[in-house]
Structure formats: structure tokens, C-alpha cells
Amino acid sequence: MSSTSGVAELPVGGPDVGPYGIVAGPDGALWLTLVHAGEVARLTVDGEVTRHPVGPADCQPMVITVGPDDALWFTMTGADAIGRITVTGDVTTFPVSGGPYGITAGPDGALWCTRMRADTIGRITVDGEVADVPLPTTGAMAAMITAGPDGALWCALNQANALARITVDGSVELCPLPTPDAAPVGIEACGDGIWFVEIGAGQIGRVDANGRVTEYPLPDRAARPHAVTAGGWFTEWGANRVGHIDTAGRIAEYELPTPHSEPHGIAVGPDGAVYAALEIGSVARLSI
């Protein structure tokens, strides 16, 4: 374990493993996807790692979330599937075509996922029944998705320079972003609003309860922010940092110990620390 200014690294398995998505599980541990290994891993706050194969090595498990059934649900972009793993390690997979990427638990007791290559949003029940909601645009490359405070789903449309608001009955409304070519990726509900990150513009954005969009430029516009938490923590994939923003737009940034560590997913752990998945093969823990 190496540490720098309150930041420590917990090894998971090396660069051929590729930690990508991360979430705090219902069992008091962190759960993360290993995109290069075709695995999901359980990481305790003490650094103990248990790895679970979930498919072939090229199945590309990506984003992971806690489902309404207290299992972990994750997308497998390379296998065109959604996976489910219990806290005891039992794995089930369901076919979902179109390159599933983002996933979240919806307000209706189902899982909702983005399908990057299909211009649709998928709804999957805990029994594996899949339905599609088409987006009113083509080539949007829907990225991450979250359940909003308004009872709808919100997702980032990376190539449409917009967010999409999807109701549980299937109606879709686009929310254009002010900055051209912003390329939003990460998105998460926060209080009465929505945080999102613009990997192309180097900005953090927020949608308030009235639907108004505010963008906050990062000090380093080339930082390429990737994922964001409800509490305003975000990863800077291109700058090897983790950052934090408050609702007043104040930004703090923290360097990661290992250069070029490629931070992707981020979550607040059960111990209150912030954890970021580093594609080099470890997880950063920020006790700040």
C-alpha cells in the first residue's frame, strides 16, 4: 500500500485486471468490475480481495450498481449482457444487445441500462425480462445513467451533447448542454439535482430542480473527468486526480500516488472514505 497526502492504494490484481466500476455493496464491502479479466471483485475496507469470474475474459464488465434485490448488477459490454452477482458470489447473466454500459436501480423496482450502440435505454426486471425505450436521436452513445430525485431516469448522451430524462412509462426528453462537444459520461443524482461530468470540455455540470444547467470549468480543462458521486466526488481520468465539487461550485483536487493510474469509477465507501477504481490494477482510498 502506497500513500500520498491522505491517499492510499489497495492492490487488486495488476494492470491486466483493470478495475473500472465501483460501488458500495449492501454487505459493508466495495464491489468493482475488472474490465480486462472478465471478473467482479469484492474489496473490504481492510484491503482483502475476493475475485469472481463472471464470463469470458473479453466480456468487459463495466458499470456496477446495487439492485433492488440487494444483489450487485453490472453491464458486460463485450458480451452484450447484464450480470447479477449475490454477495455470496452466485452469478447469473441475461442477454441485452446493443453494448450495455451504464446501469442503475430505478424507482420502479427494475434495473435500467444504457445501450451505447442501439440508441435505446433498456429496462430489466430482477427476473431478467428486458424492454426497450428508444431515444429520439441517433448516434447518441448513451453512457452512464442514474435515478433522479424527480422519479425519472437521467442519462448522459456522450455524442449528442445532451442529457436524457426518461420516465418509467417510457417518455424521453432531451436536455441540451450549453458547451459544444462537452461529451458527458458520468452522472449521479445529488439532493434535488443531478451532477454530471463533461469529459470533452473538462467541466462538471449540475441540473437543478427547475431543470437549469450550470457548468463549472475545472482548473485543468484537459483533465477528462469520467465518473461522479452523489456527494460531488469525481475522477479525472486524464490528469491522474480525484476531485470534489460542492453545490457552490468550489473545487478541490487530489493527486494520486501512481502516475498514469487511469481513475475511472468512484464511490463513497461504508467507512466514509472515497474509493476510486484505477485501471492500473488497484483502488485508491481517500481519507480526507
Alpha-carbon distance of 122 to 94, in angstroms, equals 12
The closest of 221, 204, 222 to 213, measured between CA atoms, is 204
CB-based contact 94:130 (threshold 8 Å): yes
- Which residues pair with residue 280 across a beta bridge? none
Q: What does the chain look like in DSSP terms, one character per residue?
A: --EETTEEEEE-S-TTT-EEEEEE-TTSSEEEEETTTTEEEEE-TT--EEEEE-S-TTS-EEEEEE-TTSSEEEEEGGGTEEEEE-TT--EEEEE--S-EEEEEE-TTSSEEEEETTTTEEEEE-TT--EEEEE-SSSS--EEEEEE-TTSSEEEEETTTTEEEEE-TTS-EEEEE-SSTT--EEEEEEETTEEEEEETTTTEEEEE-TT--EEEEE-SSTTS-EEEE-TTSEEEETTTTEEEEE-TT--EEEEE-SSTT--EEEEEE-TTS-EEEEETTTEEEEE--
226 annotated active-site: no
36, 226, 244, 264: the catalytic one is 264
So which residues are the catalytic ones? 264
